[in-house]
Amino acid sequence: MFEDFQLADFGNRIPSLTFELFERETPVPLMDIASATSAGAITGQSAATLTGFAAQGSDCRAALEPLVAVLPVLIRPLGDKMTVSDWNAATPTNILTDPAISDGKSRISRPSRSREANSRAPSSLSIRHYEAERDFQTGVQTSRTMGNARTKTQIDLPAVLEASAARHLAELQILQQWRGLNVFTASLPVSATVIEAGNRLSETSGAQALRIVEVEHQRGTTRVIAREWGEGASVNPAADPGRSLPATDLTIGETRLLLADLPAFGTDDPGRAVLVAAAAGTGAGWRRAALSLMDGDRDVALGGTKGVATMGHLQAELPPHTAMLEDRMNQPVIRLLNAGMTLPTGSGDPKSFDAPLLWLGSEIIRYGNAEQIGAQDYRLSGLLRGCFGTQSNGVHAAQSDVFLIEPDSLLQLDSMPTPVDSSFLVEAQGIADAIPVQRHITVTGNAIRPPRPVHGMAERFENGGILLQWKRRDRLPHIWADGADVPDSEGTTEYAVELYVGGARIATWRCTASSLLLTAAETASLSIGSGAVLQFNIIQLGRFARSLPLVLTLI
């Protein structure tokens, strides 16, 4: 009984509880189990022992049936009680077959032998048990025959056995069932000898080990049915307990949730914003959390997180860097959430196709090397900044969130509409979170927004005219394989060129070429004062969204 059990630590849900009870450190004799289960009604002698046994069932018979079905023992009536003996142990009566000829009035059939159909024996016999070498998880050992039978037998034994012991018992039992197909039937004269089921039956030839399974008392004779028995059989099969997958005994910790608006990584056009959720815990035992979308007063379930993301924090601020050159100056240090996480070491070249990707703020960074300098700290070097058109012009502050981009750990949020500039609030709650963790995200549409143009140039002519030039970039990472320009994912190419003076927009032009020429007359018509700073924002117009501006200035 639990009183005042705090469910807040388990997400306000009743947790799954598992207990292990230990009573004996030495093997338990079978006779102790039989005596305790039957309240002393079962006696006898047996060398069989078990490391542990879970007595279960509605009565004594139900509890002991799995043991009798597996162990090489017999349980027989003895007066008003029952007695246990091993297969190979001496039984009270060893009967020599001197068959009766007649009962005084009629002749009796001679002893006969027969063999039952192979279909009465199983083709395989499996024993399910608790495997000590696998932290008492369920183990299965199976023995098979070469016969043509099709039936399969499985015995659930709630006992602790080593794999080799379970396999040994499975071999003995299936051998006994196949030998038991050989049946001997005889009528014996009534004598002072007590004939009971379980007695050995020794023929005059002594060729086979037989054991009586049925006794029928008739007038002046006793009819017995005996089966060939597997006593004396030697089987010593090797067995593998299998891998042990014990439950981890690690701290779960609190949930950490990050949301990202990713660009398109492949050549397929997603046609919509790609929002993903990455989650992990401050403890190495964290596994998953439930996600939900807050839509006004409604809580819309999004399912569970996909996997444990590798995430952490930036230890010092990271200044911006051009995306056109490798960043060899900055070596940021990332502290992961817990010591159970690791960062890939990298191949040394951030330009390699398999270089690891990190999401930092709104920037994707490839790195060439990750050097572990502490239990949770990694120093990165050889950086490619602003990958896939995500260049950031701002400084990443210390303690900024970062996570490793891995498909197996990122849940794509496809179940909700994602128009550009819309905002969402997502909650995550793991079993150790007292309250849900919340994250906001505003959709920018990196997967559907063209990257900002590059290689911009602004030139003023002596007559007052202005020439602007730039190069477009495509939002899908096409491979530049033939030396020609990459395809245009937008279908048509169009740009908006906006002119700002003193923070105010005073003119806008549309063009389809990657250049714009303003004649002297057009420039004069803008009535811009001498010495004013002209800021041109060059924006590519995509099918779904506008790119961020390329900014060019002239005085």
The two most distant CA atoms of the chain are separated, in Å, by 145
3-state secondary structure 9-34: HHCCCCCCCCCCCCCCCCCEEHHHHH
Phi and psi, residue 283, nearest 5°: -115, 150
Q: Angle at Cα 444 formed by Cα 443 and Cα 450, nearest 5°?
A: 145
Sequence-ordered list of residues with C-beta below 8 angstroms from that of 427, at least 6 positions apart, any chain = 291, 292, 293, 294, 299, 436, 437, 438
Name every residue whose Cβ is closer than 8 Å to that of residue 335 and which is 6 or more positions away in sequence: 312, 313, 315, 374, 376, 377
Long-range contacts of 7-13 (CB under 8 A, 24+ apart): 8/434, 9/431, 9/432, 9/434, 10/431, 10/432, 11/290, 11/429, 11/430, 11/431, 11/432, 11/433, 13/431
Q: What are phi and psi of 61, to 5 degrees?
A: -60, -45
Range of lowest pLDDT (45-49, 412-416, 438-442, 491-495): 412-416
Mapping DSSP onto H, E and C, the string for 517-551 reads EECHHHHHCCCCCCCCCEEEEEEEECCCCECCCEE
Least confident residue range of 70-74, 391-395, 406-410, 444-448: 391-395
| Per-residue confidence band for 119, with pLDDT thresholds at 50, 70 and 90 | confident
For residue 233, the model assigns a pLDDT of 59
* Residues β-bridged to residue 258: 278
| Lookup: tokens for 336 | 């992961």
DSSP helix/strand/coil, 166: helix
337-378 residue pLDDT tens: 999 999 999 999 999 988 999 999 889 999 999 999 999 999
Residue 206 has pLDDT above 60, yes or no: no
pLDDT above 70 (res 76): yes
Rounded Cα distance between 449 and 443, Å, is 11
Q: What is the pLDDT of residues 143-184, one digit of tens each?
A: 888 666 678 899 999 999 989 999 999 999 998 888 899 998
103: pLDDT confidence band, cut at 50, 70 and 90? low
Structure-token pair, residue 422: 């819309």
CA 45 to the chain's CA centroid: 48
Mean pLDDT, range 445-452, rounded to an integer:
89
Angle between helices 60-70 and 30-37 (to 10 degrees): 160
